[in-house]
Copies of this chain bind each other. A is one copy, B any other.
Amino acid sequence: MHQGIGFIQDLAVVMAIAGIVTVLFHRLKQPVVLGYIAAGVIIGPYTPPFQLIHDEQTIQTMGELGVVFLMFSLGLEFSLRKLFQVGATAIVAALSEIVLMLWLGYEIGQAFGWAAMDSLFLGAILAISSTTIIVKALADLGVKREPFAQLVFGILIVEDILGIAMLVLLGGIAQTGELSPAIAFVTLGKLLLFMVVSLVVGILVVPRVLAYVARSGSDEMLLVSVLGFCFGFCLLVVKLDYSIALGAFLIGAIMAESRHLHRIEHLVAPLRDAFSAIFFVTIGLMLNPLVLVDYAWPIAVISVAVVLGKLVSCGLGTFLAGRDGRTAMRVGMTVSQIGEFSFIIASLGLTLKVTSGFLYPIAVTVSAITTLTTPYLIRIADPLSQRLARAMPPSVANVFGMYSQWLRALMPRSDGGPTLFSLTKRIVVQIAVNLALVSAIFIGVSYGARYAAPFIAQWVADERIQRVVLWSAALVLAMPFLVAVWRKTQSLALLLAEVSVQPEKAGRFTRATRRAIAELVPVISMIGVFVLVAALSGTILPPTGFLIGVLVCAALLTMLLWRWCVKIHASMQIALRETFDERPDA
């Protein structure tokens, strides 16, 4: 019983001091998160009385569990449905914020003469706002249900996804030292493919299994299953060389589609609270107050840059996407801080040993400062926008007013039935998802080939025949999705033919042209799909002769199993839609 005493002592120190300091911070009406960080500084090695932690490694590991639970909870609050609803405005605002802040951070770093990698990480650290702080501040001010708050949540969701992409890209850049557009494209493509496939497969499987477990009525079993999925998926993600934060976020987003979302949130909340407290304390542990004195000047500049940069970029993005000036001002003021994502990015830099030691404490301090200012900024947003409106010269106000009018005229009217745009959009999305699944199957089989090869070798000696077996297996697995791609492409081609060929112009060729388009487009697309698949499965692609044979067999098989393929795919699609349409139980 006396093995883990050192660890228990550490945990006792962390929890006891965190408890006292947070109660104090709450009394002073300051965010609890700052209390945790302050507790970490007190406990840490840089401040008196002395180093209170014995086994820092284990506490760090606990803190990493905090990141897992934090990102998992963020995922649970993420929802594809909500993402579709907030739509364009959130994307425009988040994109303009991230791009401007990345650039601003990089330029500031360069101006202070820091290394390129430090400057790049500074940009990334400044790019993403803090969901935790914003949710807390909006709830405290009692404005969580107002329309601008909903828009902010949409922006935060988009930011989370872009932040994940940034984590992956930064990891790549840190390892290779540079970012060629081609590599960025491939990296992001792979990430997108991985996310789409995980979401589709995950949403098909996980909520069903959880519903089965939940039927037992045992919270304990549900929790253990949720944690099993969570850590299991994180492990898979880590094995694929992505960050554990991405894994936790994705599996959270998958479980967000479960009917038992609220029960899961309830069960995970104490784990998240306990371990994220430890995570924030470990952030404080690393904070050397002396560094802050040395870097007071950069800290001040960066803090101002965060507030002004986010206000301008996100506010302007919101305005350009068609919201009024007051909403834009409130949105800009709300997102004007950095938080947990910045810590994750900063610690990524430290772990990969590409950033200097001073970047982390700077990030933490800037986060603390901007967190403290956030509630005040949200509160002055309205008076400020009124005063600005009054102080604005009439000519400028006119330009703004005209822009709004022009944008409103441009927007598609959302009344009436499905438009051509919405119809094609839907088919395109369906084709893309099916293509993603096909790609994933071929990549997966190619990847698994090295493990399967020894087993197949026992039966078939010829290396070419081995390839035939593997490639055929992938083809059979992918068949339902290929059939779906073919059918959706046909519908799309018909639609395109109808719209693009106008009888007034094509005259008597109308019918023939339309028919040519409707029949040629699917065939050409399938050739494109074949080229894509062949490229993806290069390592297991059979030699040409064999390949033709396989394709002919596959064609025959497809004709035979056509109805079965359609049925399989339809039932999967229905299952997916059912899971989406189900609202979580209250």
Kindly identify which residue among B15, B16, B234, B351 contacts A8, using a CB–CB cutoff of 8 Å: B234
Q: How far is the CA of A212 from the CA of B244 in the complex (A)?
A: 37
A244 & B64 in contact (Cβ 8 Å cutoff)? no
Q: How far is the CA of A549 from the CA of B170 in the complex (A)?
A: 76
Kindly identify which residue among B26, B64, B212, B219 contacts A273, using a CB–CB cutoff of 8 Å: B219
Q: How far is the CB of A548 from chain B (nearest CB, A)?
A: 41
Kindly identify which residue among B220, B224, B351 contacts A3, using a CB–CB cutoff of 8 Å: B351
A4 & B64 in contact (Cβ 8 Å cutoff)? yes
Contacts of A269 in B (CB 8 A): 219, 270
Stretch at the interface among A89-97, A225-233, A428-436: A225-233
- A145 in the interface (beta carbon within 8 A): no
Contacts of A16 in B (CB 8 A): 228-229, 231-232
Q: How far is the CA of A26 from the CA of B58 in the complex (A)?
A: 33
Q: How far is the CB of A133 from chain B (nearest CB, A)?
A: 14
B218 & A32 in contact (Cβ 8 Å cutoff)? yes
- A344 in the interface (beta carbon within 8 A): yes
Contacts of A20 in B (CB 8 A): 228
A19 & B224 in contact (Cβ 8 Å cutoff)? yes
Contacts of A4 in B (CB 8 A): 60-61, 64-65
Q: How far is the CA of A267 from the CA of B277 in the complex (A)?
A: 15
**Given A270-B270, A271-B271, A344-B1, is A227 in contact with B61 using a C-beta cutoff of 8 Å?**
no
Kindly identify which residue among B18, B213, B234, B268 contacts A270, using a CB–CB cutoff of 8 Å: B268
Closest to A5 in B: B238
Q: How far is the CA of A219 from the CA of B238 in the complex (A)?
A: 32
Interface of A is mostly: helix
Contacts of A9 in B (CB 8 A): 235, 238
- A521 in the interface (beta carbon within 8 A): no
Q: How far is the CB of A342 from chain B (nearest CB, A)?
A: 14
Contacts of A47 in B (CB 8 A): none
A32 & B220 in contact (Cβ 8 Å cutoff)? yes
**Given A19-B229, A219-B269, is A3 in contact with B274 using a C-beta cutoff of 8 Å?**
no
Q: How far is the CA of A223 from the CA of B3 in the complex (A)?
A: 26
**Given A19-B225, A19-B228, is A8 in contact with B238 using a C-beta cutoff of 8 Å?**
yes
Q: Which residues 7-62 of A have a CB within 8 angstroms of B? A: 7-9, 11-13, 15-20, 22-23, 26, 32, 58, 60-61
Closest to A242 in B: B1
Closest to A26 in B: B216
- A292 in the interface (beta carbon within 8 A): no
- A135 in the interface (beta carbon within 8 A): no
B218 & A26 in contact (Cβ 8 Å cutoff)? yes
Q: How far is the CB of A228 from chain B (nearest CB, A)?
A: 3
B58 & A270 in contact (Cβ 8 Å cutoff)? no
B274 & A1 in contact (Cβ 8 Å cutoff)? no
**Given A4-B60, A61-B4, is A232 in contact with B12 using a C-beta cutoff of 8 Å?**
yes
A231 & B1 in contact (Cβ 8 Å cutoff)? no
- A221 in the interface (beta carbon within 8 A): yes
B1 & A347 in contact (Cβ 8 Å cutoff)? yes
Q: How far is the CB of A211 from chain B (nearest CB, A)?
A: 12
- A348 in the interface (beta carbon within 8 A): yes
Q: How far is the CA of A11 from the CA of B234 in the complex (A)?
A: 10
Closest to A268 in B: B270
Q: How far is the CA of A362 from the CA of B234 in the complex (A)?
A: 36
A61 & B229 in contact (Cβ 8 Å cutoff)? no
Contacts of A232 in B (CB 8 A): 12, 15-16
Contacts of A32 in B (CB 8 A): 218, 220-221
Contacts of A101 in B (CB 8 A): none
Q: How far is the CA of A60 from the CA of B67 in the complex (A)?
A: 22
A12 & B231 in contact (Cβ 8 Å cutoff)? yes
A223 & B58 in contact (Cβ 8 Å cutoff)? no
Q: How far is the CA of A444 from the CA of B220 in the complex (A)?
A: 42
Mask, A449-492, CB within 8 Å of B = 1, is 00000000000000000000000000000000000000000000
A18 & B224 in contact (Cβ 8 Å cutoff)? yes
Mask, A330-360, CB within 8 Å of B = 1, is 0000000000000010011001000000000
Q: Can you give 30 A-B contacts (C-beta < 8 A)?
A: A1-B67, A1-B244, A2-B351, A3-B351, A4-B60, A4-B65, A5-B238, A5-B244, A8-B238, A8-B244, A9-B238, A12-B231, A12-B234, A12-B235, A15-B232, A16-B229, A19-B221, A19-B227, A26-B218, A26-B221, A32-B221, A58-B58, A219-B269, A219-B270, A219-B273, A220-B277, A223-B273, A223-B274, A269-B270, A270-B271
In addition to A11-B65, A26-B221, 17 A-B residue pairs with Cβ atoms within 8 Å of each other are A1-B64, A1-B243, A1-B347, A1-B351, A2-B238, A3-B351, A4-B64, A5-B238, A7-B61, A15-B232, A16-B229, A16-B232, A18-B224, A19-B225, A22-B224, A58-B58, A271-B271
